[in-house]
Each structure stands twice: as structure tokens, then as C-alpha cells.
Chains A and B, each alone.
Chain A
């Protein structure tokens, strides 16, 4: 009996995996194509309306400098969403890294002088990334070992990390950043800001990891079908742990970019980023239920929102009108998706929120 059961279960799992893979392909193509189109359209739109301001090299450079930190935070949330979770603590982790680097630098600067501080900069940067790794590991532990739901665990750690940062800085903005880091923020290679290249490099590395390595496959399967993942011998603990550590590392890299743009750090920096980043990740074609996400889609979504933001500034519209546009784009894209999907009723839904998952009807 158990033999037969196992056989059946095997077939079932294999069918499940194949189904997930098929769904994934459809979803991936759509997310990227849609975002690329949207990016080009918005760019052309603003370029025609305000060519003088919008196409100005300074403006384009500003887009390239402001986008990377948000892009990295988005990638950090994306990988957690890929496993069906979410990471609300990314901004707190980024600030933690920025505060660490800034205060280490200032401490060495005052005690041993400028030269020593500059010399030890690589160490500080490593310490910053180490903070991201550590905080990400705490998230991973809470989620995979203690078994807290990701949204709750990271809601709690967001408060905790942010609270600890407040304690550390005493609630004020601390200033000071390694000169090397600040130079990096101003450097451009062939007209392209170095920060943007960092985002591209990090995104490419993440894409390779997700799509070309066994670890990445495990992350995808964990999100697409945790049951199948477990029966395939994938340890959910190890997968989730790795996911949240990666998320922490990406977030801390974003924290270093905060510092390179502006040589000060505070616990409150970018508090509005949390929600913005989720908007970007979802726009980029990531399924909030897990299983599907593309790095390229998320990067394109980041650039699109940045283009819209700077285009609105060029049109002399306020940040609040940009907020309206941001919300409308998000809901518009979701509703369009839904309408499109409704026109083809025979295809079962990719898992939408649990209240909407239709139960299969037996005929």
C-alpha cells in the first residue's frame, strides 16, 4: 500500500512541479515585457512633454543615482517574496549598516586620524555588510526555526532593529562617511553613475543565483509549492535561512549606498521606502504568494517609478501628485491583470490572495 501511495505521491509532486514551472514561464515573460514597455512609454511621454528638463544630463544622472538604493531594497524584498514570505525590515537593516559604517568611521577618525580611518574603510564596509548578514540571519532564525510567519517576524524585527538604531544614535542624525564611499557616489563610468553599475552587478548576481544555481531553484520551489519542496528533500529551514540572509545582505548594500549619496545616517532615514519597495516588487511581476519573480522585472519597475518621479518633478507636479500616480499605477496594473485573467476562465488562477483561490470543482 505504501508503495502505491508513494508512487501516486511521486506523480502528483512531479505534476505539481511541472505545473509550477509552466506557470512561472508565463508569469516571468509577462512581468518583464510589461515593465519594459511601461518604462519606454513613460520615458517617451516625459521626454516629449518636457524635453529641456527631462532629457537634461543632470536629470538623467540623478535618476541613475537615486534608483540604485531603492532597487537593492526591492531586490531584497523580492527574494523573500519569492519564497512566499515578505521582509518588512529591509530599510531598518539598511539603516543599521549605514549607522555602523558611519559611527565606526567617525570613531577611528577621532581617535587615530584621517589616514588611519581611510585605510580601514574596507573593514568598515565589511562590518556594514556583516550587520546585514547578522540581522538577516536573525530574521531567518525567527522564520525558519521558531516558525513565525514572515510578515509578523519581520514586522517585529523592523521595530526591533529600528529601535536599536534609535538607541545607538540617540535619535539624532549622525554624520561622517568614508571618503572612498563618498567618491564612489560621485563617480561615473562612461557617463553612467557607478551606483547604477553596482545595482546592475548585484541584480545580475542575484539573477544567476536564482536561475542557475541549485540554491536558487530551491528558493523558487519553496515559494511555488512548499509541500512539493519538502517531498523533494529540500530543507525548508536551510532555504528560508539563506533567503533572509541574502535579503539582509542586499539591504545592507543599499545602506552603504545611502552613505555614499549623503554622508549621514539616522534611524529614520527612508521610512517611507518600505511601502514604496513593496509597490515596486509587485509591479515587477513578483507574485506576492511566492513562486514567481524576476530580477529584471523588479529593476525595470524601479527605473520606471524613478522616471515617473523625476518626470513629475520636471512637470512641476508635487511629490503628492507622484504619490497618487504611484498608487494608481499599482492598482491599475493589478486590476488589468485580473481582467485579462478573467477572460480566459479555463486556466486555473495563479494563487491570488487566499480568499480568492477558487476551489477546483470536480466534474
Chain B
């Protein structure tokens, strides 16, 4: 009985998240007939796409035992720079080129993070705080500070922002970009589960010294990880530009903690070694569900932030209490003292 329950719950409480989402969906459906429609669903998907891409990057860093707060600065830096260069350039090279340039820029900025973190073994939170400040400052001081409106975006990018996969007449549409977003999510999941690199990230996050001793090249893996996260953040940045139909260098930065909250809600451990793509998807969807639809339950929209905070506290509180119980159960064999908690 408890075994099936445990299986339903999933390794990172994914089952619990599904249950919470179902409860909210049912409650909202009862509260408002307007909720259970295709357009609500499409709107939910649309608003989840950008946070999801960023969240996947955060997930990778959290699993490796770090915390990144520079990913949004990288995202907007790369996206704005590549869009600006595309406008300044003579010919419209198409959106693929914009993505490619942005991801190269993102990877480069990520490399900087990775080298400082891995080479000098500095706390990731502090380093990325510093680079966040540098990236945002450099973007506005040296690349550009002007808001680029839809009218000035490259034509091909504008075209892409109007592309739909499914178009329900009078019932909204499913944006084309969901296809690459889904592919990226699946790729990250495969990377984490099926590749040596992915397993190494878990190993480093679980116990760096042990990982080193079984022969994992910690420095190289960490640098590669931050390069990858930088490219992922750049992808998210371009996606943000496409969906928002504008490139604003002042946007994005400042909401890092919201994304991290969604990932933590999705069951990833802040101490590293634990987390899944499925959980992250659910965490992001849950937050967006609340943000988009709280009004339907008759709760004013000003409650959104408080509600997400409440939910986050509830989620981590339940986890902490469960962990405390598990610890007490093992008291007989182990020292009755928890290990010192570390802020990475």
C-alpha cells in the first residue's frame, strides 16, 4: 500500500504536484465555466514557455549543487544583442540565425560563469550575482538601451511571432514555438537521464568529492554545464522577444527568484543531486496556473504573489518536515545531528 503510494508520489514529489494541479483545475472549473476552455489552456501554455526554458537552465545548475541568478541577464543580453545585430545587418538572415547568434553569445557568457566558478571554486550564488550585474550593465551601457518595438524587429522574427500550430476559431491558438520548447525539454530530460554528462551533474551535486574520486572531471563538467545553461538562457531570451514582440533591455532581470521558486516547487533540491524535468514542468505550470487564473476563483489578482509564496513555503515546509522525520527514524544508527546545511 505505502509502496504504491510512494510510487505515485514519484521520486521528486511529481505525483503530489499533479494532485495539487488537478485540485486547482477542478476548483477553477467549478468556480467559472470560462476556465475549462481551449483558450485558457493555450494561454497557459503560451505563458509557461519562456519561464520553462529558463527553469530548465536553473534545474541543471541546482542539480549540480549551485544556484544561478545570472541566467535572465544572459538571456536578455544574448537576445537583445542578436536582434540588434540582425537589424543593423544588411539582410534579414531569418530567425534561425538570430537564435544561433544569441545562443553563441549566451554560451560565451555562460563560459565566463563556468570558468570563474569551476576554476576558482567560488560560491555560485556570489559569482552569478556579480556576473548578473556585469552582464546587465554591459548590455545597457555598451550594446544598446533602446526599446525595440515590433515595427522595428526583423520581418522574419515578426512572422515567427504570429505562427500558430493549432488555431481554434474564436478559441485562441497554440503558438508555434511550443514545438521547439517541447523538443528542448525532452532533450534536457534525455541529457540528464541517459548521458554520462547528465549523470555526472547529478554526481557532482550529490557529493563533489565522491564524484572526483570515481573519475569525473569536475572542473570540465561544471564549465560545460554553465556553457550549456548560458545557451539555454539565450534561447529563452529570444523566445521572450518573439512572444512579447519587442526587445527591451530592461526586461526580465529582477525576476530570477520567481523562476528559482518554480523549480524548487518542482521538487529540485537546493543542495544539489536531485530534480527532474517533469517536476520542473509541473512547477512552472502550477505557478502560471495560479498567476493566470486566480481571478476566476474570485481572488483579486494582487494576491498572485502572496499565493505563490504561500505555496512555495507549503511545498518546502512539507519536504522539511518529512526529512526531519526520516532523520529521527535513523537516530539509532547515526549521530543525532544533521549535517551543516550549505549555501552554494
Contact = CB atoms under 8 A, between A and B. Distances in A.
A323 interface: yes
Nearest to A335: B120
Nearest to A223: B340
B127 A324 contact: no
A10 interface: no
Interface of A is mostly: helix
B152 to A, nearest CB: 22
B132 A171 contact: no
B13 interface: no
B23 interface: no
A301 to B, nearest CB: 13
B137 interface: yes
A157 interface: yes
Interface in A260-305: 271-272, 274-275, 278-279, 282, 288-290
Contact of B340 (A146, A151, A226, A274): A226
B317 A354 contact: no
B254 A148 contact: no
Interface in B101-153: 116, 120-127, 129-134, 136-141, 145
Contacts of A331: 116, 122, 127, 130-131, 134
Interface stretch (A54-62, A160-168, A208-216): A160-168
Bin the interface of chain B by size: 35 or more
A156 B120 CA distance: 31
A103 to B, nearest CB: 15
A52 to B, nearest CB: 24
Contacts of A161: 309
A354 B342 contact: yes
B212 to A, nearest CB: 9
A171 B302 contact: yes
B100 interface: no
B129 to A, nearest CB: 5
B208 interface: yes
Interface stretch (A41-49, A199-207, A247-255, A314-322): A314-322
Contacts, number: 199
A142 B317 contact: yes
Contacts of B69: 275
A152 B137 contact: no
B304 interface: yes
A160 B313 contact: yes
Given A288-B343, A338-B120, A323 B134 contact: yes
Nearest to B205: A355
Contacts of B120: 334-335, 338-339
A313 interface: no
A352 B123 contact: yes
Contacts of B131: 327, 331
Contact of A355 (B121, B145, B257, B304): B121
A186 interface: no
**Residue in A85, A142, A157, A334 with the greatest tally of chain B CB atoms within 10 Å:** A334
A226 B304 CA distance: 37
A355 to B, nearest CB: 4
A170 interface: yes
A359 interface: yes
A185 interface: no
B260 interface: yes
A70 to B, nearest CB: 15
A167 B294 CA distance: 13
Contacts of A358: 209
A330 interface: yes
16 contacts: A150-B341, A150-B343, A151-B270, A160-B310, A275-B69, A275-B129, A288-B125, A320-B145, A324-B134, A335-B116, A338-B120, A352-B121, A352-B122, A353-B124, A354-B65, A357-B209
